[in-house]
């Protein structure tokens, strides 16, 4: 397998083609951005940690029957994945109130929701990834109602598995964002990453934030938090 031209560069990752048209290489960068890239930073080990954490989580989800794009980890920064067409919708799941929901609705951060809350955002950087609903998504041609049903079901299954996994790590899964894509056969599968960049993770005993909010809110210890998540993940998965 050879690495070809760069197909895409995002805020935290690059994507390269390979000699197989159905496979691409994802490279995780140390760059961090927040607030629609208005705030920028760079943290040693962040790329390595997000690659390692996403690898362990996607492998675990695969064993639980969740279809993902993950094929294998190649090195510290890179992984080989199935090429997909990313569905331009961010699936956000909230178990506790935090971040933009707390602000938008004037609710205190940290309240546990009695129901699982699903937000849908339209992936458009130039618009700041606006919050939309199912009808907007269908209007925009991003997905059909049937596909949305399937996407919510998959997202909910992933939430159930991850709540349990993080619980074993003594961590509360507050909220997270995933991206889904269609593979070469049109099947909807999990893509992108699951890492402290895309989840809010709070230590159960101390409520310490072990995620990207350390960067967003200038709390310090960004790298240390990502390393801590990786260490706890390795321990519960016995890796
Ligand atoms: N999130 C993400 N990418 C985004 C927006 C949100 O990974 O472009 C994640 C974020 O890390 C959090 C969850 O989705 O775990 C909910 O984020 P929220 O809508 O509260 O927005 P934020 O406060 O992160 O701007």
Domain of 160: which CATH number?
3.30.470.20
The answer, yes or no, to whether any atom of ligand 1 lies below 6 A from the CB of 192, is: no
Q: What is the pLDDT of residues 129-143, one digit of tens each?
A: 999 999 999 999 999
Q: What's the mean pLDDT in 67-74?
A: 98
213 within some domain: yes
Segments forming the whole domain that contains residue 136: 85-221
Query: What digits encode the pLDDT tens for the residues 161-170?
Result: 999 999 999 9
The answer to the question of residue 20 being in a domain is yes
In this prediction, residue 189 carries a pLDDT of 99
pTM to 2 decimal places: 0.97
Residue 113: enclosing H or E segment and its boundaries? Answer: strand 112-122
Nearest to 25 by CA among 46, 50, 3: 3
- Tell me the pLDDT band of 182, cut-offs 50, 70 and 90: very high
- The CATH number covering residue 12 comes to 3.30.200.20
What is the pLDDT at residue 187? 98
Say if 22 falls within a structural domain. Answer: yes
As a whole number, mean pLDDT of residues 216-239 equals: 97
Is there a single domain that holds both residue 212 and residue 193? yes
- What's the pLDDT tens digit per position in 189-210? 999 999 999 999 999 999 999 9
Residues 73 and 121 grouped into a single domain: no
| Residue 97 counted as domain residue | yes
Residue 109 has pLDDT above 90, yes or no: yes
- Answer yes or no: is pLDDT of 177 > 90: yes
Does ligand 1 lie within 6 Å of residue 129's CB atom? yes
Helix (H, G, I), strand (E, B), or coil: what is residue 183?
coil
User: pLDDT at position 104, please?
Assistant: 98
In the block, tokens 């310090």 appear at: 220
In this structure, the answer to whether residues 93 and 78 fall within a common structural domain is no
147 shares a domain with 40: no
Same domain for 173 and 71, yes or no, is no
- Report the atom number in ligand 1 closest to the C-alpha of 102: 20
Check whether residue 10 and residue 60 sit in a common domain. Answer: yes
Write down the mean pLDDT value for the chain: 98
Tokens standing for residue 29: 């960068």
Write the CA distances from 81 to 16, 64, 84, 91, 158, integer angstroms. Answer: 10, 18, 9, 20, 19
Q: What is the pLDDT of residue 1?
A: 84
Confidence at residue 40, expressed as pLDDT on a 0 to 100 scale: 97
- For ligand 1, the distance from its centroid to the CA atom of residue 208, given in whole angstroms, is 18
Mean pLDDT of 63-78: 98
Residue 238 has what pLDDT? 95
- Identify whether residues 71 and 185 lie together within a single domain: no
The token pair that represents 92 in the structure block: 């956000």
Based on the fold, state whether residues 73 and 146 are members of the same structural domain. no
The finding on whether 176 has its CB within 6 A of some atom of ligand 1 is yes
Ligand 1 within 6 A of CB of 175:
yes
Token pair for 5:
């031209």
Helix (H, G, I), strand (E, B) or coil at 192: coil
Domain count, the chain: 2
pLDDT of residue 145: 98
Pocket test for ligand 1, best of 98, 107, 177, 212 (most atoms within 8 A of CB): 177
Cβ–ligand 1 contact at 101 (below 6 Å): yes
Please tell me whether residues 133 and 209 are part of one structural domain: yes
């Amino acid at each position: 397998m050879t690495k070809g031209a760069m197909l895409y560069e995002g805020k935290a990752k690059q994507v390269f083609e390979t000699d197989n048209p159905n496979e691409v290489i994802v490279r995780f960068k140390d760059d961090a951005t927040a607030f629609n890239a208005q705030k920028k930073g760079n943290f040693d080990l962040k790329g390595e940690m997000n690659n390692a954490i996403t690898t362990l989580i996607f492998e675990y989800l695969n064993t639980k029957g969740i279809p993902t794009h993950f094929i294998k980890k190649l090195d510290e920064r890179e992984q080989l994945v199935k090429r997909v067409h990313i569905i331009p919708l961010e699936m956000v799941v909230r178990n506790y109130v935090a971040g933009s929901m707390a602000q938008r609705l004037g609710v205190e951060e940290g309240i546990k929701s009695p129901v699982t809350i699903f937000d849908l955002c339209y992936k458009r950087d130039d618009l700041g990834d606006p919050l939309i609903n199912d009808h907007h998504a269908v209007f925009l041609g991003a997905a059909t109602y049937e596909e949305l049903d399937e996407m919510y079901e998959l997202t909910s299954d992933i939430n159930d598995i991850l709540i349990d996994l993080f619980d074993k790590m003594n961590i509360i899964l507050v909220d997270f964002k995933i991206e889904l894509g269609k593979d070469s056969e049109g099947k909807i599968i999990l893509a992108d990453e699951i890492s402290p960049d895309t989840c809010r993770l709070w230590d159960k005993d101390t409520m310490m934030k072990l995620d990207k909010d350390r960067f967003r809110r200038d709390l310090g210890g960004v790298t240390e938090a990502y390393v801590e998540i990786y260490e706890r993940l390795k321990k519960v998965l016995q890796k």
